Structure 1
Amino acid sequence: MLGSPHIDVLLDIKTTLGEGPVWDAESQRLHWIDSADGRIFRSTHDGRELRAWDMREPIGSMAVGKDGASFLAALKSGLHRIDTSSGERELLIDPEPDLPNNRLNDGKVDRQGRFVFGSMDTLEEQPSGSLFSYSPQGQLSILDKDIVVSNGPCFSPDGKTLYFADTWTGEIWAYDYETATGKASNRRTFATVDTSSGGAADGATVDAEGYLWQALVYGGKIIRYAPDGTVDRVIETPVLKVTSLAFGGPKMDTLYATSMAKPPLPRFPEDGQQRGALFAITGLGVIGIPEPRFGA
């Protein structure tokens, strides 16, 4: 039964472009990034034991490695393995060495341990991006192409449906996802995003009931979509630029939401005092699904 949400500021660290929250159930730690400033953060479920790693370049997303002692980071220069103890990084692959105006963006690990991630045009104008899959064995595959801004990859509870958005199309797409091979096919429109308030589809996650939760960046809303694509619930957020979502906490019943303190381009709106904060939303009456580690 859905409850009444309560929204708290968990950490007010003013991330320039907060993104990509990931709850690691094994370590009971929350991870998120500052995409523009190139940092990975980690804390307990209630914001204690805060630690940060400096990537020294923009980062689009990250995942916890199977060993728990490393991160997989989608940096502007490519996918890297980051040693959590030393901070040293190892380049695994650069998917787009011939596209200097692109950078890697949002990503998520599938149920089999592959990292599904996308790229984007840094000016958010040209369809130069792609949707990729990177396997624990080091194989890179292209799942889709001609994307402007890759955002919100996430999976149905059974892992057989991949959701994904090219932010400025005004749509969230669904693909048939072959769990054995990691191939995506049969792209279709899952939901049309209400952009009347100026918002657009950003980060997303799926709960244990198979409903998709999506951040409406610049619109100050979180939308819960039913499995048939209809709007089930709308939550107003304290800031316009809410960017991404992840369920976590000891009971998997807290929805963590990142936000940005400064828009990436001049045409995007400014925000209120809580801009850039990390929010914890409780009382929703639903739980999430633990995210797999890369290589799991």
Structure 2
Amino acid sequence: MDIELVAEGLQFPEGPIAMADGSIILVEIQRQTLTRVTPDGNRETLADLPGGPNGAAIGPDGAVYITNNGGAFHFFEANGLNIPGPTPPTHAGGSIQRVDLKTGSVKTLYQDFDGKRLVGPNDLVFDKQGGFWFTDHGCSTPDGRKYGALYYALPDGSKIVRWRDHFVSPNGVGLSPDEKTVYMADTMLGRLWSFDIAEPGVLTEAAPLMPGNVVCNLPGYQLLDSLAVEASGKVCVATIINGGITAFAPDGSTEHYAFPDVIVTNICFGGPDMRDAWITASGTGKLYKARWPRPGLKLNFNA
């Protein structure tokens, strides 16, 4: 696969959005900003987002919605790579935020659920009705991990529901083309989950002792990060250690596309035929562009 380097020097980029004007909006987790990257690689800071902006998506009002992990990672350098490490002791929890692209103003929509602070919100996806599914990655502690969860919320700040919890490390989240399935990648397990949707924003009742359906567990030591869905229904998940993108078919079969970074964290689709793919290579702080073999699924909202 031919790949093009679009930008470098990014501070752990994630959450890319292919915008209608050809630019890419993404978060820089370590730099704590929402950033626009133009096709020629120039960068513009759109908003400062203290903590740890981890995921981004355009909502029905044209604003950018952010999953902010609250500074859940301590970054360190090893072998020339920028690596997200343990959670600092100062970490208090994360939030869901809204950024107005016209003014750069930031509003916090959610910080807690049922009286408990969100731990480390990670990624989000909007459905056709304008609500969004989001993951809480949890975080590490000196005594072990705080578990993560899968949520659904409305963009006006009026409703948040935790649908599944006690996951090891929820990360990427996406919807099937018919929006009858929500997919969720678990980083540490190298596992892609799927959950059946009964109606918008509502999951079907879980089977006894089974929080969801296992699409596939990757063999060996491979970690999963964020994801995007193809128009065909394949789920393209950024893969760490085995650096690249792993495309999962709904039947569990996979194919892997390598990229030059062991910490590949996300992919998004755009362009006239939806075959332009942008990939965040976060360990080296780079944004790549490639021609994908199949079209990606067009997201419900853009700006």
- Normalising to structure 1: TM-score of the pair? 0.82
Report the CA distance between 1:135 and its aligned residue: 1.6
Counterparts of 1:59 and 1:177 in 2: how far apart (Å)?
A: 27
| Deviations 1:1-26 (CA, angstroms, capped at 9, x unpaired) | xxxx21111111332x221112244x
Pick from 250, 253, 276: which aligns with 1:227?
250
Structure 1 residues 146, 191: closer, same or farther in 2, change over 3 A?
same
How has the CA–CA distance of structure 1 residues 20 and 286 changed in structure 2, closer, same or farther, with 3 Å as cutoff? same
Q: Post-superposition shift, 1:185?
A: 4.5
Equivalences, count: 269
Quote the offset at 1:56 in angstroms. 2.1
Identical-pair percentage: 24
Shift in Å, 1:162: 0.8
Q: Match for residue 73 of structure 1?
A: 66
**Partners of 1:250 and 1:30 in 2: CA distance:** 15
Q: 1:141-290 to 2 correspondence within 5 Å?
A: 141-183=161-203, 185-186=205-206, 187-194=212-219, 196=220, 198-231=221-254, 233-261=255-283, 275-282=284-291, 284-290=292-298
**Deviation, structure 1 residue 183:** 2.8
User: Is 1:51 matched up with 2:73?
Assistant: no
State the partner residue of 2:85.
none
**2:65·2:97 contact (CA, 8 Å) conserved in 1?**
yes
SS in 1 for 2:112: coil
Partner of 2:149: 130
Structure 1 alignment gaps of length 5 or more: 262-274
Which stretches in structure 2 are left out of the alignment for 5+ residues? 71-93, 207-211
Higher relative contact order (CA 8 A, sep 6+): 1
* AA at the equivalent of 1:293: F
**What is the deviation of 1:79?**
1.5
Task: Specify whether residues 54 and 210 from structure 1 end up closer, same or farther in structure 2 by C-alpha distance, changes over 3 A only.
Answer: same
Equivalence for 2:18: 23
CA 1:90–1:280: 2 relative to 1, 3 Å: same
Say what the alpha-carbon RMSD is for the aligned residues: 2.3
**Contact 1:23 1:291 survives alignment (8 Å):** no
Preserved CA contact (<8 Å) 1:24 1:290? no
User: Matched residues in 2 for 1:57 and 1:87: separation?
Assistant: 17
Shift of 1:83: 2.0
CA deviations on 1:17-40 (whole Å, 9 max, x unpaired) are 221112244x55422111232211
How far apart, CA to CA, are the structure 2 residues paired with 1:184 and 1:36?
37
2:111 to 94, 106, 109: 94
User: Shift in Å at residue 50 of structure 1?
Assistant: 3.1
Give the conservation status (yes or no) of the 8 Å contact 1:175–1:188: yes
**Residue in structure 2 matched with residue 266 of structure 1 by the alignment:** none
Provide the rounded CA distance (Å) in 1 between the counterparts of 2:14 and 2:202: 25
For residue 98 of structure 1, report the CA deviation from its aligned partner. 3.8
Change (3 A) 1:29 1:177: farther
Check conservation: 1:177, 1:185, Cα contact below 8 A.
Answer: no
In structure 2, the CA distance between the partners of 1:79 and 1:184, relative to structure 1 (3 Å rule), is farther
179 and 9 in structure 1: CA distance in 2 versus 1, 3 angstrom threshold = farther
9, 13, 19: which is aligned to 2:5?
A: 9
| Deviation of 1:151 (Å) | 1.0
Q: Secondary structure at the match of 2:188?
A: helix
Distance 2:290 2:205 in 1: 34
Distance 1:185 1:166, change over 3 A: farther
In the alignment, is residue 41 of structure 1 matched against residue 60 of structure 2? no
Residue 85 of structure 1: aligned partner: 102
2:121 corresponds, among 104, 108, 116, to 104
2:135–2:172 CA contact under 8 A, matched in 1: no
- TM-superposed deviation, 1:170: 2.8
- Whether the 8 Å CA contact 1:175–1:185 is kept in 2: the answer is no
Give the whole-Å Cα distance in 2 for the aligned partners of 1:11 and 1:287.
23
Listed one character per residue, the Cα deviations across residues 77-112 of structure 1 (whole Å, up to 9, x for unaligned) are 412222223322222121257448x22112221232
Equivalents in 1 of 2:277, 2:180: separation in Å? 23
